[in-house]
Amino acid sequence: MESTNRRLIIAIGVVILVGCLCLCLISLVVGGYFWKFISGDIVTNLPIPTSMQQETAIPTQSTPKTPNPTSPPTEFSSQSRNMTATPGITAPSPGSNLPADISNQMDKIQEQVIELRGLASTGPVTRSLLTQEGLREHVVNDFLKDYTQAESQEDALVLAALGLLAPDFDLYGFYVELYSEQIAGFYDDETNEMYVIQGEGFQGPERLTYSHEYTHALQDQHYGTQDGLGCNDDAWEQDSEGCAALQALIEGDATLLEITWLINDATLQDRQEIEQFYVNLDSPVFDSAPAFMREDFLFPYSYGQLFVEHLYKQGGWDSVDQAYHNQPVSTEQILHPDRYPADRPVPVDLPDMTRALGDGWREIDRGPMGEWYTYLILAEGLDPATQLKKLEAQTASEGWDGDAYVVYYNDQIKATALVLLTNWDSAREADEFSQAFEKYASARFETPGSTQSDLKIWDSPDSSNLFRKNGEQTTWILAPDSSTAQAIYDILVTP
């Protein structure tokens, strides 16, 4: 069985409110592009993640457009009602429940996005506004229709083995609540439909969201999200690491375009409404999420944006377009854009160990862990006492060069076993990770590590952990007892 739902992706075109609007504002602050739009003042109280504190290159038009405060986006009177589509660029899209003024605004934003991104539309996109109630129905009936309670329970067991989640965490219920709270809009690449979640009308936040979502529609028209790019359920089952990298490219592309639209085409009222939305933003479900989950949801927007900016600096949108034909293959490449495309992970494989483990054991998950999740394990564990400092965790994980993990579960004794085999760029990089892992394991398992032959061992009342460094490779085995851990180890080291 290969199940990689630990990174549940419900739709490529989803915009998370925190990930989209807040990171958009943060990027503008960090890059020095933030506007003086309220009485000449610059907002300075935005939280800026360490990962975003670097030079930001935002593409702008040669002649930036001056916002017109006399044309509020909710009216667009003479501008929108008399607007016609530019021949050969875009045509008005069908809408099932859209008032005329909103439909006209969407048409205008589409034209702007096409001009900014340099991708022509190949056809109309059906679009609708959704209420929060309608969104919740989509989450349950469409997004999560193929994700069962049983699968979510197994995912929770896997994440618990990694120290990221409590084993009895209601992951399915949490996803329903989180996506119902956080989705600002989405493009359905199976039906070619666009949805924007309606708040207080079609205002600045909704218009910004639409610029992001229409970028996804253009991506799908040109590259084929599901078929052409291969980012579908089957692909996630086979290679969650490669799909996470592709998702970061897709979302990073749309996020950079969204920021570009905000600079070049947003009105003064758009900006005021977006700032007011940010000030009043209330996201209790997202705020209550486990630390690793909050970081993981933001990954494709924050690091994806930085990755796309790196490409843009090299050759504008043409370089970004080329990346769809030579896709990034790992979160390592997203985290370190200079390693794209040459630095590809070394393939790692793990044998089937169910027979050696004995009766009652079954495999519930296997796949690549990746540099990003290696970092999350060290820095964002469920127990704050186990969390290494972010820089320490980054240093320990950045020498990643390929890995494989497998998780087994015994329904009779309610026990989990985990194996993680990782290749590193050098023996020195393996040493750095080993030192960081020893610190992490001693805190997590609350026992001092002992050494036996070439193994480091942590035995606690709940688990037995073996850790081995062998040249440029490390192995972590977590099992319910020392005999099970030794049985797994014997399989791995037997020629």
In-domain check, residue 348: no
pLDDT in tens, 376-402: 999 999 999 999 999 999 999 999 999
287/390 same-domain check: no
In-domain check, residue 42: yes
* pLDDT at residue 99, rounded to an integer: 87
Residue 80: pLDDT over 50: no
Domain boundary among 296, 316, 339: 339
Domain boundary among 270, 305, 339: 339
281/398 same-domain check: no
In-domain check, residue 345: no
Average pLDDT in the 151-155 region? 94
pLDDT in tens, 182-205: 777 788 888 888 888 876 678 998
225/373 same-domain check: no
Average pLDDT in the 79-106 region? 57
pLDDT in tens, 199-249: 667 899 889 989 999 999 999 999 988 777 876 667 667 788 999 999 999
261/224 same-domain check: yes
369/467 same-domain check: yes
80/198 same-domain check: yes
In-domain check, residue 349: no
* pLDDT at residue 464, rounded to an integer: 96
Q: Which residue has the higher pLDDT, 236 or 265?
A: 265
Residue 32: pLDDT over 60: no
Q: At 406, which CATH number?
A: 3.30.200.100
In-domain check, residue 315: yes
* pLDDT at residue 69, rounded to an integer: 27
Neighbours of 322 (CB within 10 A): 13
In-domain check, residue 347: no
3-state secondary structure the chain: CCCCHHHCCCCCCCEEHHHHHHHHHHHHHHHCCCCCCECCECCCCCCCCHHHCCCCCCCCCCCCCCCCCCCCCCCCHHHHHCCCCCCCCCCCCCECCCCHHHHHHHHHHHHHHHHHHCCCCCCCCEEEEECHHHHHHHHHHHHCCCCCHHHHHHHHHHHHHCCCCCCCCCHHHHHHHHHHHHEEEEEECCCCEEEEECCCCCCHHHHHHHHHHHHHHHHHHHHCCCCCCCCCHHHHHHCHHHHHHHHHHHHHHHHHHHHHHHHHCCCHHHHHHHHHHHHHCCCHHHHHCCHHHHHHHHHHHHHHHHHHHHHHHHHHHHHHHHHHHCCCCCHHHHHCHHHCCCCCCCCCCCCCCHHHHCCCEEEEEEECCHHHHHHHHHHCCCCHHHCCCHHHHHHHHCCEEEEEEEEEEECCCCEEEEEEEEEECCHHHHHHHHHHHHHHHHHHCCCCCEEECCEEEEECCCCEEEEEEECCEEEEEEECCHHHHHHHHHHHHCC
72/97 same-domain check: yes
Global pTM reads 0.85
* Residue 267 belongs to domain spanning: 5-339
pLDDT in tens, 335-352: 999 999 999 999 999 999
pLDDT in tens, 348-369: 999 999 988 999 999 999 999 9
Where does the pLDDT of residue 58 fall: very low under 50, low under 70, confident under 90, or very high at 90 and above?
Answer: low
Task: Tell me the C-alpha distance between 341 and 433, whole Å.
Answer: 24
In-domain check, residue 43: yes
* pLDDT at residue 492, rounded to an integer: 94
89/238 same-domain check: yes
In-domain check, residue 346: no
The answer to whether the bond into 124 is cis (omega within 30° of 0) is no
Q: Which residue has the higher pLDDT, 73 or 262?
A: 262
Residue 92: pLDDT over 90: no
User: What is the number of domains present in the chain?
Assistant: 2
245/114 same-domain check: yes
Question: Both ends of the chain: CA-CA distance in Å?
Answer: 25
Among 21-30, 64-73, 142-151, the least confident range: 64-73
Residue 303: pLDDT over 50: yes
Handedness of CA 203, 25, 246, 154 (dihedral sign): negative
Whole-number average pLDDT of the chain: 82
Residue 495: pLDDT over 70: no
Where does the pLDDT of residue 33 fall: very low under 50, low under 70, confident under 90, or very high at 90 and above?
Answer: very low
* pLDDT at residue 427, rounded to an integer: 97
* pLDDT at residue 160, rounded to an integer: 97
* pLDDT at residue 414, rounded to an integer: 96
297/159 same-domain check: yes
3-state secondary structure 59-98: CCCCCCCCCCCCCCCCCCHHHHHCCCCCCCCCCCCCECCC
* pLDDT at residue 200, rounded to an integer: 63
Domain boundary among 339, 367, 384: 339
* pLDDT at residue 63, rounded to an integer: 36
360/335 same-domain check: no
Residue 308: pLDDT over 70: yes
pLDDT in tens, 449-462: 788 878 999 998 89
172/36 same-domain check: yes
Residue 84: pLDDT over 50: no
